Amino acid sequence: MSEPASSVVTTPLAAIETPLLAVALAEGTSVPASLAALDQAAGGVLTRAITSGDFKGKRDETSLLYPAGGKAQRVLLVGMGKAGDVTRNTLRRAAAVGGKRARALGATQLACAVATEARNGTTARDLGQAIVEGAAQGAWSFTELKAAPDDPRPEVAAIVIVCDDRESKDAEAGRRVGDAIAAGHRLTRYLQVQPGNVCTPAYLANEAQRLADAYGFTATTLDRQEIGKQGMGALLAVAQGSAQEPRFIVLEYRGGGGGDAAPVVLVGKGVTFDSGGISIKPAQNMEDMKFDMSGAAAVLGTFETLGRLKPKINVVGLIPATENLPSGTAVKPGDVIRSLSGKTIEIINTDAEGRLILCDALSYARRFKPVAVLDAATLTGAVVVALGHAAIGIMGTDEALLGEVREAGERAGERCWPLPLWDEYRDLLKSDVADVKNSAGRGAGTIAGGWFLREFADGYPWVHLDIAGTAYTESEAPYQSKGPTAVGVRLFSEFILKRAGA
Ligand code: BES
Ligand code: MN
Ligand code: ZN
């Protein structure tokens, strides 16, 4: 999908000429004063929708109105629930509902406004940022692989934020950030949704190189032979069953501290298809395992955002990329391999491949002497059992960093919930023959994955994000199409921008 342009205007609502004006408002039984002029210009259609009780303002509720007069062809009322509960996440979600409806209607421009009575202390900067992020997210669609799209309506080409004069400067600052994050989001979703036969490890490496060329990052890519030479035996073991060559991708953005300040390292799991390997998965929904590179996609999307905003900070992205397939050359249960760290690993289950490729990336990260390492991985089905699809499972070695990442997640609307990495759980990974085994018994699957990584995340503060429950959705929502969610991009971006003081 092409990129919608965004802008801030201070035109009065009643004078906005647009195919679709989305107005977010809170629960209530009368038209808020800030919308009175619009209502009047529109011939009282807001009053009729609201006082009749047809539109109550509940979260995600919408009412599409065709005003008899005024400049907007259509007005979409979008509910945000109780005014006292409104946050920037509520604004983003309401804008996303508007964006999704705009796309469905074929409206090429979407103007968005929020009733001032419903702002609940959210700043103009929040408004500008959240509206662009949300509207772009909602308007997203992927039809590239259809010879005959089901609905060939035009895409949303422009997003317009409507606000007061005295807020426009701050809203514009927010818009700029939101626009860059939306671009990262879009790239991530695009990569996620690509089928496994298109999005291979080499494809991800090309994307990293493309970003490097566009924004002046340094990209380094190791192929199978170089991965072997480095001693990344764990990544190599997962890759050995596949005809597709693995890649180890290093992206470096130098934006701060004269270039040599210790960087934040972002690590993303890049399994471009996870069949389970010899421990093969059931056929049901196996096609979803093309999304097993969502962590990698989030890292690349974050670099898109970095390239646009150029914050004053150094960031390194590490992506171990491979397929996980069964074959005559595939790694087998019982095999023992040697990781980059030197630790040996007994393979119990070849479907626990994510932790294998990540452990080598975490060891590789040490050479950058990072201030913090954050990894994102669709690591365990167990995180869905624990937290469903509403939260990222978060674990780590540093309480302050855990808190900082969780706060970034709150701002981003990508919430994280902690699971403990207590010493008691270390025993899950005891192997009879090697230093560790890659899979434990039935219980505490997400913690076992986290603990495995912890064995290798040595020498820096580290946080692990298990995004298996949040990276893609199996059903449509009013604010989001079914499929990839780009989870991680907003969280990473918020984290980095805050650290950069931007
Ligand atoms: N990629 C999967 C995890 C996953 C499951 C992601 C569902 C998205 C949705 C991962 O590689 C995996 O297979 N994990 C195993 C680990 C087990 C063998 C210890 C799992 O969760 O079953
Ligand atoms: Mn697996
Ligand atoms: Zn996997």
Tens-place pLDDT, residues 335-369: 999 999 999 999 999 999 999 999 999 999 999 99
Query: Which helix or strand (DSSP H or E) is residue 63 part of?
Result: strand 62-65
- Mutate which of 379, 429, 442 for ligand 1 pocket (most atoms within 8 A of beta carbon): 379
Query: Could you confirm whether 310 is annotated as catalytic?
Result: no
Average pLDDT for 263-290: 98
Average pLDDT for 143-168: 92
Q: What is the pLDDT of residues 361-411, one digit of tens each?
A: 999 999 999 999 999 999 999 999 999 999 999 999 999 999 999 999 999
Ligand 2 centre from 358 Cα, in Å?
12
pLDDT of residue 1: 60
Nearest to 135 by CA among 103, 174, 173, 165: 103
pLDDT of residue 151: 77
Q: 218-499 adopts what CATH topology? A: Aminopeptidase (3.40.630)
CA-279 nearest atom, ligand 1:
18
Domain segments of the chain as ranges? 5-187, 218-499
Q: What is the pLDDT of residues 71-119, one digit of tens each?
A: 999 999 999 999 999 999 999 999 999 999 999 999 999 999 999 999 9
Ligand 3 centre from 380 Cα, in Å?
7
Answer whether residue 318 shows pLDDT above 70.
yes
Query: Could you confirm whether 281 is annotated as catalytic?
Result: yes
Q: Which residues contact 40 (CB under 8 A, 6 or more apart)?
A: 14
Among the bound ligands, the one closest to the CA of 291: 1
User: What gap in Å lies between CA 258 and CA 252, rounded to an integer?
Assistant: 14
CA-353 nearest atom, ligand 1:
11
User: What gap in Å lies between CA 83 and CA 61, rounded to an integer?
Assistant: 14
Ligand 3 centre from 291 Cα, in Å?
9
* Distance of alpha carbon 186 from the chain centroid: 9
Q: Beta strand 218-222 with 247-254: parallel, antiparallel or unpaired?
A: antiparallel
Ligand 2 centre from 284 Cα, in Å?
14
- Mutate which of 380, 431, 474 for ligand 1 pocket (most atoms within 8 A of beta carbon): 380
Asked whether the beta carbons of 237 and 331 are under 8 A apart, the reply is: yes
Band of the pLDDT at 242, cuts 50, 70, 90?
very high
Give ligand 1 pocket residues (Cβ under 6 A).
Answer: 274, 292, 349, 351-354, 378-382, 439, 445, 468
CATH code, 5-187: 3.40.220.10
**What single DSSP character describes residue 296?**
H
Among the bound ligands, the one closest to the CA of 275: 2
- Is the model's pTM score more than 0.85? yes
Among the bound ligands, the one closest to the CA of 393: 1
Percent of the chain past pLDDT 70, that is, above it, reads 100
**Residues in the 5 Å CB sphere of ion ligand 2:** 274, 351, 353
pLDDT of residue 382: 98
User: What gap in Å lies between CA 186 and CA 304, rounded to an integer?
Assistant: 10
Nearest to 464 by CA among 416, 429, 413: 416
Task: Report the nearest-CA residue for atom 22 of ligand 1.
Answer: 381
3-state secondary structure (DSSP) of residue 493: helix
Answer whether residue 257 shows pLDDT above 80.
no
Q: What is the pLDDT of residues 412-424, one digit of tens each?
A: 999 999 999 999 9
Q: What is the pLDDT of residues 439-482, one digit of tens each?
A: 998 899 999 999 999 999 999 999 999 999 999 999 999 999 99
CB atoms within 10 A of CB 432: 6
Ligand 1 centre from 291 Cα, in Å?
11
Residue 421 corresponds to which tokens in the numbers above? 């990495």
- Alpha helices (runs of H) in 106-258, residue ranges in sequence order: 124-139, 168-193, 201-215, 224-230, 233-239
Q: What is the pLDDT of residues 176-208, one digit of tens each?
A: 999 999 999 999 999 999 999 999 999 999 999
